[in-house]
């Protein structure tokens, strides 16, 4: 999943990027509201983490602009302002959840997982488990099973499979995969995506009779039961 972090404190922004990268998310950083709006105009994000206190405009105004311009994904607002009035203003501007500073990364990650579950198209909104056919992906414990057999994946392989499982039976192009599993600076013309697809197939498909990851000629790849 691809996340936009809007945070002007460099140390905090890098901390969030590092932590989210380690658990498999592609992350872009914006240091101001206007920079965030520029990123949003050229990218496709699954979730936004947005600080309320920004140098050029408030995060509340930024959230309102995101919604005005058509962003429908979840927005998690970060703030040192903990009053009910402040939270109401943020929620009214389009935020889906509020996290008050100081917070732990584990709590932030839990909020991110919960917000992304609500967006899931495969009916898994009440569970931390994504399921398709006989394949299961545990978002909390970062485990994958097929036919009850545990499959060991690297962080990037897990992120790639998660993107497929959140978009089952939908053809995914290489650019889309690059944006959601890597980041905006990734060179989508390289063959890294194809290499990772092959690695994933060897672990998820090769040991089993039914293949789930299929090539869509001229487009990219798709997760589905029948080719």
For 192-212, the pLDDT digits (tens) are 888 999 999 999 999 998 999
Pick from 207, 167, 158: nearest CA to 25: 158
How is residue 129 written in tokens?
Answer: 């488990």
Superfamily of domain 2-119: Response regulator (3.40.50.2300)
- Please list the residue range(s) of the chain that carry CATH number 1.10.10.10: 129-223
Predicted model pTM: 0.67
Share above pLDDT 70 across residues of the chain, in percent, rounded to a whole number:
92
- In what order do the strands lie in the sheet containing 213-216? 172-173, 220-223, 213-216
The sign one gets for the Cα dihedral 169, 155, 72, 135 is positive
Mean pLDDT, residues 159-178: 88
Confidence of residue 142 (pLDDT cuts 50, 70, 90): confident
| Residue whose structure tokens are 């978009």 | 167
Q: What is the reported pLDDT for 125?
A: 40
Question: What span, in angstroms and rounded, lies between the C-alpha atoms of 68 and 85?
Answer: 22
Spell out the alpha helix ranges (H) of the chain: 10-22, 33-42, 59-68, 84-93, 105-119, 155-166, 174-181, 192-204
- Structure confidence by residue, pLDDT tens digits, 2-34: 899 999 999 999 999 989 988 888 899 999 999
For residues 28 and 159, give the distance between their C-alpha atoms in angstroms, rounded to a whole number.
16
Q: What would the pLDDT profile of 67-103 be if each residue is shown by its tens digit?
A: 999 998 999 999 887 667 777 777 888 889 988 888 8
pLDDT at position 186 over 70 = no
User: What's the confidence (pLDDT) of residue 123?
Assistant: 40
Instruction: Write the burial class of residue 52 (CB in 10 Å: 0-12 exposed, 13-18 middle, 19+ buried).
Output: buried
Question: Range(s) for CATH 3.40.50.2300 in the chain?
Answer: 2-119
Identify how many contiguous H helices and E strands the chain contains and give both numbers: 8, 12
Structure tokens at 208: 């089993």
Helix (H, G, I), strand (E, B) or coil at 89: helix
Domain covering 129-223 in this structure, CATH number = 1.10.10.10
Bridge-based pairing of strands 75-79 and 47-51 is parallel
* 105 contacts 22 by C-beta, under 8 angstroms: no
Mean model confidence pLDDT for the chain: 86
């Amino acid at each position: 999943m691809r996340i936009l972090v809007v945070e002007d404190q460099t140390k905090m922004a890098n901390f969030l990027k590092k932590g989210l990268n380690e658990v498999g998310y592609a992350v872009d950083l914006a240091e101001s509201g206007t920079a965030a709006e520029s990123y949003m105009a050229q990218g496709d994000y699954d979730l936004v983490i947005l600080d309320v206190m920004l140098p050029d405009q408030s995060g509340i105004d930024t959230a309102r602009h995101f919604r005005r311009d058509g962003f429908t994904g979840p927005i998690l607002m970060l703030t040192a302002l903990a009053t009910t009035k402040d939270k109401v203003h943020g929620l009214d501007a389009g935020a889906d959840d509020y996290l008050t500073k100081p917070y732990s990364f584990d709590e932030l990650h839990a909020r991110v997982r919960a917000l992304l579950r609500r967006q899931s198209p495969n009916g898994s909104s009440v569970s931390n488990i994504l399921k398709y056919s006989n394949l299961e992906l545990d978002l909390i414990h970062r485990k994958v099973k097929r036919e009850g057999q545990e499959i060991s994946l690297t962080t990037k392989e897990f992120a790639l499979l998660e993107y497929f499982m959140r978009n089952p039976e939908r053809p995914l192009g290489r650019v889309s995969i690059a944006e959601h599993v890597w980041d905006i600076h990734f060179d989508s013309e390289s063959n890294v995506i194809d290499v990772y697809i092959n690695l994933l197939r060897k672990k998820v498909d090769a040991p089993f009779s039914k293949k789930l990851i299929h090539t869509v000629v001229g487009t990219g790849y798709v997760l589905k039961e029948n080719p």
